[in-house]
Amino acid sequence: MRKILKIDERIQFKEVDYTAKNPENKKFVEFKNLKKFCEILGAIVGDRALADSIARDMTLIKDEEELAQKLRGYGKFSQEQITQLSALHFSHHISLSLKALSEILPFMREGMRYDEACQEAKLQAKHNDKKSKFLPPFCESIYADELTNPVVHRAIAEYRKILNALIAKYGSVHKIHIELTRDVGKNFQEREKYKKEIESNYKARVQAMQECEKLGLTLSEGNILKLRLFREQNEICVYSGRKITLANLKEQGALEIDHILPYSRSSDDSYMNKVLVFTNENQNKGNKTPYEAFGGDSQKWGEIESLALRSGYPKKKAKRILDKGFGDREAGFKSRNIVDSGYIARLIANYTKEYLKFLPLDSHENTALIAGEKDSKIHVEAVKGMLTATMRHFWGLGSKNRYEHTHHAVDAIIIAYINAAMIQRFSQFRQNQESLKARFYAKELAKEEFKTQRAFFEPFSGFREQVLAKVGQIFVSRPPRKRARGALHEETFYSIDDKKLSETYGGKKGVQRALSLGKIRQIGTKIVANGPMVRVDIFKHTQSGRFYAVPIYTMDFALGILPNKAVVSGKDKDRIIKDWLEMDSCYEFCFSLFKDDVIEVQKRDMEKPELAYFVSLDASDGRIKVRHHCNDITKINENQKKLFSEAIEKEVVGRGSIQNLKVFKKYKVSPLGEIKEAKYEPRQPIALKTSPKKHRKQNNAQ
């Protein structure tokens, strides 16, 4: 491709790992399933309409047996072909109908771009003609067919809920800035990988903090970062190849943290764009990339290449160090680091622009214009998280603690104040820093001179203090998990006389009692443990005032039979689990709890009741688990410590029996964090609910 398009060797291809051997030998794109599909169909693939119909069936029908039956109906395939086709998987649509494709493709085959082909075919993008004060459900929008990811669907539903609540309380808005978290749209494995990255970064930071104290270094953000880079680089300066010693770390002005791709040119303030180097090397590099600064010296550049590839640098960092064509991509690179142009960000932005009625940005604006039309204004922008993190630091709002949840509110305020003028001023400020590194970078970030230099672009005087004060008043809102979803039971099957079951419940008699109580279930001749506990019904004894909990599992919802026995812990004198209490007329129903419902609790040793989120009930001993609303261990007082008795930095939680609680009430929290006591509702029956499937247009299968 490089040869065909005659692309300069300094320009690198996106998504190619240039730290690998022969990186450009990697295949650019493969259509493995399409190739197999064509091979299996043979001559049939020439019948485009038939091939499209088969591909559509293979995309929409997920059950292999059902698909095989459908393929037999065509009367065109042998059993071997049906088996092979059923094993193939097409999972997505593109947002174009077959009719639209048939009109566009002839022009694209002539060399036209997609937009030119659409114009030539006289095809117009779908638009919504009527905007409203509130955002309608996403499933009713013209974009609904573009999205199949349930995780993103939930994120958009929460976004809509919060936005509409804000509009209902404060009125319509002029503009919306959006930042998407990095895990939006990722599958389970990708989200788990991201969580592990966060865990790893947190551990590295804690280790660096501990090392700072051991070495007698001031515990500052600058020193913590220096120590992390010092260890990552195997104590070597990548620009000089010289060893960095502990004495260098302690010596004022000996070392600097450099942005590999200059910040003023890239807007990249991420960890992956930083290295620890000797001050003189950094001054020699100036406002250039490593290649621009040192590439003219073949020997020095060879040493830098060698160090970048073998000194333990993460691939993303090594790629930045070895970048030879940054200058050609500079404008686009900077823009991408400021504005999130990813698919999900664009989808949410377009959905909002298309349906929400905005207030005009100036007195002459015609708000009826479609976004992108001449004279229309930009009312929705998706901001990159990288810029948010940078401004958090420069506005003195501290490092993000991902374990506590109010950092999202801080980020939201920062995002609201990010605009083109502020970005321009900030870039100019960083340009000055790049030119005067010896003056600024050699000093600790907390020094008064640095504070003076950054203060000029703060949104207003006292910004930091007001932000922290407001955020401190927030009660973090979570939606309760009311859906009965998940497996009906766990995967492991036990025989009825299994030794483990016998020991747990007290012999065969105990196992039979556990079955009758619904603690375990019988499937045929085998025993299985319950699936998720969906709901917990709370009762109160009319005489003693003690509270009792009735657990309700997914299996109960599937059976449609409402359990009526409350948990009793322990075993009797024969070591058999105790029978549970029937909730008869001596007990009154109080409320039902789902995960993430808000409750008010006061234990006997607490001075006053406290609010918490309900997490779970332990059916073995009747204790409930609760969580602090913002999960910040630094914000809990002495009274709360008695409730959140198992609190650690990662998880501010506690467990306790409900029977002897002085106060036990259910509350409701709005999307904006407004709290009020829940009104009494009668006990509800149970049944599995199915969501009606929205009719989908028959788009072309990929």
pLDDT at 108 over 70: yes
Contact assessment for residue 594 and residue 588, using Cβ atoms and an 8 Å cutoff = no
Q: What is the pLDDT of residues 450-486, one digit of tens each?
A: 454 554 467 888 888 999 999 989 999 998 988 887 7
The pLDDT of residue 452:
46
Q: What's this model's pTM, rounded to 2 decimal places? A: 0.63
Average pLDDT over residues 485-491: 82
The pLDDT of residue 699:
38
pLDDT at 146 over 70: no
DSSP state of 635: G
The pLDDT of residue 496:
87
Using H for helix, E for strand and C for coil, what is the string for 261-283? CCHHHHCCCCHHHEEEEEHHHHH
User: In this predicted model, which residue has the larger pLDDT, 341 or 533?
Assistant: 533
d(C-alpha 291, C-alpha 471), whole Å: 44
pLDDT at 307 over 60: yes
pLDDT at 125 over 50: yes
- The SS3 of residue 522 is strand
- 121: which 2 tokens? 């075919």
- 437: which 2 tokens? 């590194």
Average pLDDT over residues 246-266: 87
Percent of the chain whose predicted confidence (pLDDT) is above 70: 80
CA 315-392-457 angle, to 5 degrees, is: 120
User: In this predicted model, which residue has the larger pLDDT, 124 or 165?
Assistant: 165
pLDDT at 445 over 50: no
The pLDDT of residue 696:
36
Contact assessment for residue 240 and residue 281, using Cβ atoms and an 8 Å cutoff = yes
Average pLDDT over residues 287-297: 90
Residue 7 banded pLDDT, cuts 50, 70, 90: confident
C-alpha 374: how far from chain center: 35
Q: What is the pLDDT of residues 630-652, one digit of tens each?
A: 998 988 999 999 999 998 888 89
Q: What is the pLDDT of residues 605-626, one digit of tens each?
A: 999 999 999 999 999 999 999 9
Contact assessment for residue 640 and residue 623, using Cβ atoms and an 8 Å cutoff = no
Mean pLDDT of the chain: 82
Average pLDDT over residues 653-674: 95
pLDDT at 417 over 70: yes
pLDDT at 271 over 90: no
Residue 492 banded pLDDT, cuts 50, 70, 90: confident
| Residue extents of the structural domains in the chain | 2-124, 204-328, 530-677
User: In this predicted model, which residue has the larger pLDDT, 269 or 665?
Assistant: 665
- Summarize the chain as % helix, strand, coil (round to 5): 45, 15, 40
- 6: which 2 tokens? 């005659």
Average pLDDT over residues 377-394: 78
Q: Report the chain's terminal Cα–Cα distance, integer Å.
A: 24
pLDDT at 446 over 90: no
- 648-683 b/e (C-beta count within 10 Å ≥ 16 → b): eeeebbbbbbbbebeebbbbebebeeeeeeeeeeee
Residue 164 banded pLDDT, cuts 50, 70, 90: very high
Residue 693 banded pLDDT, cuts 50, 70, 90: very low
Residue 327 banded pLDDT, cuts 50, 70, 90: low
The pLDDT of residue 584:
96
Burial class (CB in 10 A: 0-12, 13-18, 19+), 252: exposed
Residue 627 banded pLDDT, cuts 50, 70, 90: very high
Residue 509 banded pLDDT, cuts 50, 70, 90: very high
The pLDDT of residue 238:
92
